[in-house]
Chain A
């Protein structure tokens, strides 16, 4: 299957700082990428849809000013968690689709202290 690479795999940051997470499709182009968040023992929750060359589409309840998404090329989308707080600590996962099937990045474990 297609390969989606996500970086970093884990990050610890201080409260009030910003963290950027990258998601790359390595062997295919992705006009659309998706960002999910997963809290322990819970299912994946879609945060936003990242569209190449245009604004991201956010799910209800997700603060667009806090979770900045940029999809500048067909192989790269970034999620920036701004002014992070401990409650933002979670597992963030991106995905991209090839031939109708979704493939996921490795995930980023964010811990805000």
Chain B
């Protein structure tokens, strides 16, 4: 079983719609969760980090975490063509949120926002 799983996509949404990206992880003790955006040929860029169950909002982005279900999601409201990229879910399996060991990345979901 892969440690971090995501739908590879591609996920296509019309401009202005909500894009929903999902991620599941296998290590139940994981404490830190991240969403990165990666444009083609570029390195990943951190969008959101979340550590507690519930929702965390930042502008058009909302991260949702459910540790009981081992599930993390990212919602992008009012999607724009510039949001078209690969979105990587990442999990830090460290038992303590302030302790960084190594981040495990999912395979990424390709998002395409259609004008």
Contact = CB atoms under 8 A, between A and B. Distances in A.
Interface of A: 1, 6, 32, 34, 42-44, 46, 49, 91, 93, 95, 97, 100-107, 109
Interface of B: 32, 34, 41-46, 49, 88, 90, 92, 97-98, 100, 102-108
Given A34-B102, A43-B107, A105-B43, A100 B92 contact: yes
Contacts, number: 48
Contacts of B104: 46
A102 B43 contact: no
A101 B99 CA distance: 10
A100 B98 CA distance: 6
A6 B41 CA distance: 14
A104 B107 contact: no
Question: Across chains A and B, which 6 residue pairs bring their CB atoms closest together, nearest first?
Answer: A107-B43, A104-B43, A43-B107, A97-B100, A44-B105, A93-B43
Given A1-B46, A100-B100, A104-B43, A43 B92 contact: no
B43 A106 contact: yes
Nearest to A31: B100
Contact of B108 (A43, A95, A97): A43
8 contacts: A1-B46, A42-B107, A43-B105, A46-B104, A46-B105, A49-B102, A102-B46, A103-B46
